[in-house]
Structure 1
Amino acid sequence: MHIWVDADACPKVIRDILFRAAERTQTPLTMVANHPLPLPGSTLIKQLQVPKGFDVADDEIVSRIQPGEILVTADIPLAAEALEKGARVITPRGEKFDTGTIKAKLTMRDFMDTMRSSGIHTAGPATLSPADRQTFANQLDQLLR
Structure 2
Amino acid sequence: MSGDETPRTIVVYIDADACPVKDETYRVAGRYGLHVYVVANSFMALPREPWIERVVVSDGFDAADDWIAARARPGTIVVTADVPLASRCVKAGAAVLAPTGKPFSESGIGMALATRNLMQDLREAGAITGGPKPFSARDRSAFLGALDRTVMRLKRGGFG
Q: TM-score range by the shorter chain?
A: over 0.9
**Counterpart mapping for 1:51-130 below 5 A:** 51-130=58-137
Q: Report if the CA contact (8 A) 1:22-1:45 is conserved.
A: no
- Identity, % of aligned positions: 39
Unaligned runs of 5+ in 2: 1-9, 153-160
CA distance in structure 2 between the partners assigned to 1:136 and 1:31 by the alignment: 17
Partner of 2:148: 141
SS of the equivalent of 2:100 reads coil
* Residue 18 (str. 1) matches residue 25 (str. 2): yes
CA distance in structure 2 between the partners assigned to 1:65 and 1:30 by the alignment: 12
Partner of 1:32: 39
SS of the equivalent of 2:133 reads coil
| CA shift for structure 1 position 143 | 0.6
Partner of 2:17: 8
CA distance in structure 2 between the partners assigned to 1:25 and 1:41 by the alignment: 17
SS of the equivalent of 1:29 reads strand
Aligned length: 143
CA distance in structure 2 between the partners assigned to 1:52 and 1:27 by the alignment: 27
CA distance in structure 1 between the partners assigned to 2:73 and 2:116 by the alignment: 25
**TM-score (norm: length of structure 2):** 0.87
**TM-score (norm: length of structure 1):** 0.96
Partner of 2:3: none
Large movers: runs of 4+ above 3 Å? none
User: What RMSD, in angstroms, separates the aligned Cα atoms of the two structures?
Assistant: 0.8
CA distance in structure 2 between the partners assigned to 1:119 and 1:54 by the alignment: 24
| CA shift for structure 1 position 66 | 2.0
Partner of 2:158: none
CA distance in structure 2 between the partners assigned to 1:37 and 1:25 by the alignment: 23
SS of the equivalent of 2:17 reads helix
Partner of 2:54: 47
SS of the equivalent of 1:8 reads coil
SS of the equivalent of 2:13 reads strand
